[in-house]
């Protein structure tokens, strides 16, 4: 039993998009359909202006609205890893989950006629590898591991760096944390 989680430390993120392309090349996704996207927001007035860039992907919610709305059970929560997964055999492409996800973390895969999203590289993790985005992160901004284990690197870093998930008020209980 584990609950896979991730920390993205924005003070280290180089905003380089290496994570985006790592996901695309590993899964041979069509260009632009990566599970990870960078989103930027600008705030303030010159010269006191700031730009925050967030790598956004599936937050692997513990209380995932996408699972609740899926009529076929194609989107499901894997009890072994606590991750939200897709069974492509069952996905009918209705896109309810896309509407339900408050993080805009899902994309429609035109070629397959199904919905795709970040799966936390579960296959790699089970082989003892890191998720591709974590492995390649040139800012060393990403830490992956088991949130249920308080001694894991990711759990310790979340505590030490006072990391927070995005929009905790939505009640989805995400497993991806950020340091701002």
Partner 1 sequence: MSKFGIQERRITRRRFLGAGAATVAGLAVAGSLVHRPRSLPEARAAAPRTPVAERLVPSICQMCSTHCGILIHVAQGQITRISGNPDDPISRGRLCARGQAGLQVVTDPDRVRQPLKRDGSGRLRPISWDQAFQEIGQKLQEIRAKDGPQALVWLTHPEVLASWEQRFMNAYGSPNWTSHAPTCFSSRNVGWVATVGAVPSGDYANTRYYVSFGRGINDGISNPQVQGLMTAHRNGAHLVALDPRLSDFAAVADEWLPVRPGTDLAVALAMIHVLIAEHLYSPDAVAQSVGFDQLAQAVQPYTPEWAAERSGIDAATIARIARGLAAAAPAAFVDPGWHGPQGGMYWNGVALTRATACLNALLGNLGKKGGLKLPGPSPLPDEKSLPLLQPAPQPPKLPRFDGAGGPEWPLAKGMGRAHVLPEVIESGKPYPVRAVIVYHTNPVRAYPHGARVIEAFRRLDLVVVIDHQMSDTAWTTADYVLPESTYLERLGPVQVSGTKLVLPQPAIRPLYDTLGEDEIIRRLAEATGLGGYFSYTLDQYNRAMLAPLGLQPADLAEREVTLPLPPSPPQPLALKTPSGKIELASSAMEKAGGPAVPVWEPPLVEPDGKTNFRLITGHVPMHTHTSTENLAYLHALMPENQLWIHPSRARALGIREGDLVEVRSEVGRERLRAHVTEGIVPEAVWMAHGFGCISPAQRLAYGKGASDAALAPIRSAPYSGACATAETLVTVRKVV
- Which chain residues interact with ligand SF4 by CB under 6 A? 8, 13-19, 38, 55, 58-61, 64-66, 84, 101, 103, 105-106, 117, 137-139, 141-142, 172
With 0-12 CB in 10 A as exposed, 13-18 as middle and 19+ as buried, what is 55?
buried
- List the x/- string, 64-103, binding to partner 1 by CB under 8 A: ---------------------xxxx---------------
Q: Which does 55 bind (CB under 5 to 8 A by kind): partner 1, ligand SF4, none?
A: ligand SF4
Residues 47-66 touching partner 1, rule: CB under 8 A, are 47, 49-53
In the bound state with partner 1, the residue whose beta carbon lies nearer, of 62 and 78, is 78
Nearer to partner 1, 20 or 175 (CB): 20
Tokens of 77: 């929560």
Terminal C-alpha separation, the chain: 30
**Counting Cβ atoms within 10 Å, is residue 175 exposed (0-12), middle (13-18) or buried (19+)?**
buried
* CB of 45 or CB of 79, closer to ligand SF4: 79
User: How many other C-beta atoms are found inside a 10 Å radius of the C-beta of residue 21?
Assistant: 17
Least separation, in Å, of the C-beta of 68 and ligand SF4? 9
Beta bridge partners of 144: 6
If the CB atoms of residues 114 and 155 are measured against partner 1, the closer one turns out to be 114
In this structure, are residues 12 and 162 in contact, taking their beta carbons and an 8 Å threshold? no
């Amino acid at each position: 039993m584990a609950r896979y989680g991730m920390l993205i430390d924005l003070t280290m993120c180089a905003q380089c998009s290496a994570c985006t392309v790592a996901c695309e090349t590993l899964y041979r996704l069509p260009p632009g359909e990566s599970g990870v996207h960078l989103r930027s927001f600008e705030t303030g007035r010159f010269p006191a202006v700031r730009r925050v860039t967030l790598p956004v992907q599936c937050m692997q919610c513990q209380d995932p609205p996408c699972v609740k709305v899926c009529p076929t059970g194609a989107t499901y929560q894997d009890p072994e890893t606590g991750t939200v997964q897709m069974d492509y055999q069952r996905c009918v492409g209705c896109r309810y989950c896309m509407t339900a996800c408050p993080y805009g973390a899902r994309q429609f895969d035109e070629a397959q006629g199904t919905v795709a999203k970040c799966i936390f590289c579960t296959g790699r993790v089970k082989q003892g590898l890191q998720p591709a985005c974590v492995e390649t992160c040139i800012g060393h901004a990403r830490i992956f591991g088991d949130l249920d284990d308080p001694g894991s690197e990711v759990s310790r870093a979340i505590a030490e760096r006072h990391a927070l998930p995005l929009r905790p008020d939505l009640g989805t209980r995400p497993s991806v944390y950020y340091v701002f």
